[in-house]
Homo-oligomer: A and B are copies of this chain.
Amino acid sequence: MIKVYTSSVIDAPADQVWAHIRDFNALPSWVPAVADSRIEGGAPSDKVGCVRNFNLKEGGNLREQLLALSDHTCSVTYNILVSPMGVENYVATLRLTAITDGDRTFAEWMAEFNCPPGREQELTDEIGNGVFQAAFDNLKRQLGRR
């Protein structure tokens, strides 16, 4: 089991960041790598158990299932059902915490998964930097105070 942990600070209130990312179908609006997304079966995107089906801009289809959603702790947990990445048992959690000093947001995104031997470093970098940090950087641009 590989663990990836990425955390950042968004210069916007946690309520505002949560409103921006809570929608499990909203990846295209804040994760740069994602081209499009739909919830399978037309379910509401905050129905626990729903599946988002999305495509990457560079090609590749993913299906991810919503395992947990909390408006109480501003967090979302999901797993990967299908992806081109070659990972197994992938479960990730994204969580926001209020920074009272400056009314900002501490954002954490962590994942655990198995992968073929030898691909650990490549996948850790691709997921932790290429996806998670890239998305945080985008949130900073989209929501950060100037």
B-contacting residues of A (Cβ < 8 Å)?
Answer: 1-3, 5-9, 43-44, 46-49, 67-73, 77, 91, 97-102, 104, 106, 108, 112, 117, 128, 133, 136
Contact B70 A68 (CB under 8 A): yes
Give the distance to chain B from A35, nearest Cβ to Cβ, in Å: 25
Partner of A133, one of B72, B101, B108: B101
Number of copies of this chain that the complex holds: 4
By a CB distance below 8 angstroms, the chain B residues around A99 are 7-9, 106
Contact A8 B49 (CB under 8 A): no
Partner of A100, one of B5, B43, B98: B5
Known: A1-B1, A46-B48. A136 touches B69 (CB 8 A): no
Contact B48 A8 (CB under 8 A): no
A2 to B117, CA, bound (A): 14
A50 to B7, CA, bound (A): 30
By a CB distance below 8 angstroms, the chain B residues around A91 are 72
A46 to B69, CA, bound (A): 10
Chain B, residue nearest A74 (CB): B68
By a CB distance below 8 angstroms, the chain B residues around A6 are 100-101
By a CB distance below 8 angstroms, the chain B residues around A7 are 97-101, 106
Contact A101 B44 (CB under 8 A): no
Give the distance to chain B from A121, nearest Cβ to Cβ, in Å: 15
